[in-house]
Amino acid sequence: MRDMLKHGRKFERMGPKKSGVFVRKIPRSKDEPVHLALEINPLDEDRYPTKKIGVIIRNQSELDSSEQHSQRRTWTKYYR
């Protein structure tokens, strides 16, 4: 992950093709440095992400927010 953070391309996606949970590199912005975020994106039958960009979780507060919880419950049906 350190290598991805240092050398990865902007918005590069890394992760196992079977789970639908990826690590994505988020480039530097005016307010934040370069960082990694989780992306939840269901996979189709061929194990490719179904959306161009899934649900991005950048920090613990986003994960804990009620909006993220409702989205997470919606996404869990794809992983059963």
Domain boundaries, the chain: 2-79
Q: What is the pLDDT of residues 5-41, one digit of tens each?
A: 777 888 888 877 668 888 888 888 899 888 899 888 8
- Model-wide pTM > 0.85: no
What one-character DSSP code corresponds to residue 77?
Answer: G
Beta strands in the chain (DSSP E): 13-14, 21-26, 35-40, 55-57
Residue 46 has pLDDT above 50, yes or no: yes
| Torsion angle defined by CA atoms of residues 42, 67, 52 and 14, in that order, rounded to the nearest 10 degrees | -70
Residue 19, CA distances (Å) to 11, 31, 48 in order: 19, 31, 10
Query: What is the pLDDT, as a whole number, of residue 15?
Result: 77
CA neighbours closer than 13 Å in the CB half-sphere of residue 79: 14
